[in-house]
């Protein structure tokens, strides 16, 4: 019976590899190349031991800890320690995102579309498909880890030995495997692939937050998060393996539980049941804008709550930062010193930039929904009615533009609510509000880019995510990796005046807003002229 449950798993593994023969190599190559690029650049950025020690001093501060994880090996801050401290957490997050997307694609998405039903009518074990998906994604993670490990060692950087490099790769592999298993579990709980993605990404964000707060204030709390756990490996310094083993075991347990739930539920059903809805459409729904708002309602509300919590969590570490800064003399590489501003204000600008880029995600998601609807053949029935293309596409844009404002308002509110309680000299609400709202035009530019892609290059609409990822990388690591200024100008987020450290610069805000408007206009024009596929 047990063997029967997994019958034909091998064939499905080959089938999944066939389906993702392009997707998987792209993920692997992108992650390996990014890692190697940073590793190659670091020795040039901090060539002398003295420079590295200066950086090490700044690493002690809780603001950095909340963003990168706890510093270690500070006494002798080698390139290896620096690499692991600065890159490991974000590489693990990226690998987690990859695993979540791949597993959802081969579990709930296939089931939702009815394709799984056809597979299950064949002599295929009940658990074969989900097991095959987990095997493939685990394999991808192992290959990725091995490639990263060996190629880091292959760079021949003195402090990056084989042992440490392999551990670095192993951390990525087990993080990926853990989130793959967690996604398989989410796919049992939710009834749709959107729901699965929501649950899995929610878990990833919670893991990041628990780690951030835990790293700053409570070690046991940090250990509860898989992302916190894997940072305890102290790669290239102490090379501790037990967190890798624990994460792997946790992954297996979660995966086994997902298989158990899968075997005991009906195909197509989720464990979180769907509730009956309204009998009649509300008046509100009966227009394109109403439809878009209704479709994106859950996503926007969940993101708004998420942004509030995220901003509040960042706010919670500001008390520690304040006391740290008031006690510390040696500063400042990540946050270049500006006369007359408290260091907490400088960290505020970094946090706001990061949160704003996260706020851009729901806005971009809203625009890309237009493409997702087209893929699902749900645009055709709308355009067949008396609905013009610009008004339909425009409804998505309007919703996205409003979503950006809502997200930033909640970010400001969440951030203010905790900084006001933990800081001795809290920021005023109006200062926080201005620091948050100033990013709205930049988010609109991201919305515009997504709109332009959908209008003119619909096949490559997901390029918007690459652009946002690029922005994130450049802004987040700008100081640490000494990224040249012109690379920052290429992203809208690099052109935003950093309140309150910098003066408000109206011209750049007007230019950003205009750029967003032009991008959207061209997007709408392209959408009006191109073929709509369904």
Which of 70, 73, 125, 414 contacts other proteins by CB under 8 A? 125
CA distance 195 to 525: 33
Which of 158, 266, 329, 339 contacts other proteins by CB under 8 A? 266
Residues 6 or more apart whose CB falls under 8 angstroms from that of 199 comprise 186, 189, 190
- Is 502 near other proteins (CB under 8 A)? no
Nearer to other proteins, 122 or 510 (CB): 122
Using the rule CB under 8 A, give the single segment among 39-47, 124-132, 167-175, 515-523 that binds other proteins.
124-132
- Is 297 near other proteins (CB under 8 A)? no
- Is 329 near other proteins (CB under 8 A)? no
DSSP letters, 180-213, are: HHHHHHHHHH-SSHHHHHHHHHHHHHHHHHHHHH
Q: In the complex, what is the shortest distance from the CB of residue 118 to other proteins, in angstroms, rounded to a whole number?
A: 6
Pinpoint the alpha helices (H) of 113-241. 115-120, 128-154, 162-189, 193-217, 219-224, 226-231
Nearer to other proteins, 6 or 72 (CB): 6
- Is 272 near other proteins (CB under 8 A)? no
Using the rule CB under 8 A, give the single segment among 25-33, 57-65, 118-126, 207-215 that binds other proteins.
118-126
Residue 65 burial by Cβ neighbours in a 10 Å radius (0-12, 13-18, 19+): buried
C-beta of residue 79 within 8 angstroms of C-beta of residue 51 = no
Which of 11, 238, 326, 529 contacts other proteins by CB under 8 A? 11
CA dihedral (103, 311, 336, 77) in degrees, to 10, reads -50
CA distance 337 to 360: 28
- Is 117 near other proteins (CB under 8 A)? yes
- Is 386 near other proteins (CB under 8 A)? no
CA distance 240 to 350: 31
DSSP letters, 12-57, are: HHHHHHHHTTTHHHHHHHHHHHHHHHHHHHHHHHS-SHHHHHHHHH
C-beta of residue 125 within 8 angstroms of C-beta of residue 6 = yes
Phi, psi for 407 (deg, rounded to 5): -60, -45
- Is 194 near other proteins (CB under 8 A)? no
- Is 213 near other proteins (CB under 8 A)? no
Nearer to other proteins, 156 or 277 (CB): 277
The angle formed by the CA atoms of residues 299, 302 and 303, to the nearest 5 degrees, is: 80
Q: In the complex, what is the shortest distance from the CB of residue 106 to other proteins, in angstroms, rounded to a whole number?
A: 10
- Is 459 near other proteins (CB under 8 A)? no
- Is 380 near other proteins (CB under 8 A)? no
Using the rule CB under 8 A, give the single segment among 112-120, 248-256, 301-309, 500-508 that binds other proteins.
112-120
- Is 271 near other proteins (CB under 8 A)? no
The tokens describing 478, both together, are 């700008």
Largest Cα–Cα separation, the chain: 73
Which of 24, 124, 137, 210 contacts other proteins by CB under 8 A? 124
Residue 4 burial by Cβ neighbours in a 10 Å radius (0-12, 13-18, 19+): exposed
Which of 118, 245, 256, 330 contacts other proteins by CB under 8 A? 118
Say which residue the tokens 């967190």 belong to: 243
The tokens describing 287, both together, are 């227009």
Q: In the complex, what is the shortest distance from the CB of residue 12 to other proteins, in angstroms, rounded to a whole number?
A: 8
- Is 115 near other proteins (CB under 8 A)? yes
C-beta of residue 186 within 8 angstroms of C-beta of residue 199 = yes
Which of 114, 154, 336, 484 contacts other proteins by CB under 8 A? 114
- Is 530 near other proteins (CB under 8 A)? no
Nearer to other proteins, 86 or 111 (CB): 111
C-beta of residue 69 within 8 angstroms of C-beta of residue 88 = yes
CA distance 493 to 490: 9
Q: In the complex, what is the shortest distance from the CB of residue 119 to other proteins, in angstroms, rounded to a whole number?
A: 7
- Is 26 near other proteins (CB under 8 A)? no
Using the rule CB under 8 A, give the single segment among 14-22, 71-79, 149-157, 187-195 that binds other proteins.
14-22
Binding characters for other proteins, 63-102, by CB under 8 A (x = yes):
----------------------------------------
CA distance 485 to 225: 35
- Is 113 near other proteins (CB under 8 A)? yes
Q: In the complex, what is the shortest distance from the CB of residue 299 to other proteins, in angstroms, rounded to a whole number?
A: 23
Please report, as ranges, the residues that interact with other proteins according to CB under 8 A.
1, 4, 7-8, 11-12, 15, 18-19, 113-115, 117-126, 266-267, 269, 273
């Amino acid at each position: 019976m047990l063997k029967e449950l997994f019958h034909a798993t091998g064939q499905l593994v080959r089938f999944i590899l066939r389906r993702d023969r392009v997707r998987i190599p792209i993920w692997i190559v992108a992650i390996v190349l990014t890692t190697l690029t940073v590793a190659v650049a670091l020795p040039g950025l901090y060539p002398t031991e003295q420079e590295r020690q200066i950086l090490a001093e700044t690493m002690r501060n809780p603001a950095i800890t909340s963003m990168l994880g706890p510093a270690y090996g500070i006494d002798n801050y080698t390139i290896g320690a620096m690499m692991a401290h600065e890159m490991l957490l974000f590489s693990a997050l990226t690998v987690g995102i990859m695993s979540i997307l791949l597993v959802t694609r081969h579990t709930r998405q296939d089931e939702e579309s009815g394709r799984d039903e056809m597979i299950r009518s064949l002599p295929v074990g009940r658990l074969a498909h989900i097991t095959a998906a987990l095997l493939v994604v685990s394999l991808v993670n192992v290959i990725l880890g091995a490639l990263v490990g060996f190629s880091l060692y292959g760079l021949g950087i003195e402090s990056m030995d084989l042992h440490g490099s392999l551990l670095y790769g192993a951390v990525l592999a087990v993080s990926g495997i853990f989130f793959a298993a967690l996604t398989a579990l989410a796919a049992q709980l939710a009834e749709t692939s959107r729901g699965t993605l929501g649950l899995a990404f929610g878990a990833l964000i919670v893991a990041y937050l628990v780690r951030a707060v835990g790293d700053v204030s409570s070690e046991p709390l940090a250990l509860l998060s898989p992302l916190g756990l894997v940072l305890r490996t102290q790669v290239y310094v102490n090379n501790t393996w037990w967190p890798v083993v624990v994460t792997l075991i946790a992954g297996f347990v979660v995966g086994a539980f997902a298989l158990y739930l899968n075997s005991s539920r009906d195909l197509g059903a989720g464990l979180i049941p769907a509730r009956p809805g309204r009998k009649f459409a509300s008046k509100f729904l009966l227009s394109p804008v109403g439809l878009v708002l209704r479709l994106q309602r859950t996503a926007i509300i969940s993101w708004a709550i998420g942004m509030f919590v995220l901003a509040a969590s960042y706010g919670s570490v500001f008390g520690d930062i304040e006391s740290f800064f008031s006690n510390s003399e040696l500063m400042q590489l990540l946050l270049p010193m500006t006369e007359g501003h408290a260091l907490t204000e400088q960290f505020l600008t970094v946090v706001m930039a990061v949160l704003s880029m996260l706020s851009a995600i729901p806005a971009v998601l809203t625009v890309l929904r237009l493409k997702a609807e087209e893929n699902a053949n749900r645009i055709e029935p709308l355009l067949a009615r008396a609905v013009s293309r610009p008004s339909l596409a425009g409804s998505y844009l309007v919703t996205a533009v409003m979503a950006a404002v809502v997200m930033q308002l909640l970010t400001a509110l969440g951030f203010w609510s905790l900084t006001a309680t933990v800081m001795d000299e809290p920021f005023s609400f109006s200062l926080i509000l201005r620091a948050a709202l100033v990013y709205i035009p930049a988010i609109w530019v991201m919305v515009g880019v997504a709109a332009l892609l959908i209008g003119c290059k619909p096949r490559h609409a997901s390029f918007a995510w690459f652009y946002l990822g690029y922005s994130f990388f450049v802004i987040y690591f700008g100081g640490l990796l000494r990224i040249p200024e012109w690379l920052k100008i290429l992203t809208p987020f690099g052109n935003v005046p950093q309140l309150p450290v910098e003066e408000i610069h109206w011209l750049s805000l007007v230019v950003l807003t205009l750029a967003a408007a032009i991008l959207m206009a061209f997007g709408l024009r392209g959408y009006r002229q191109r073929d709509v596929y369904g």
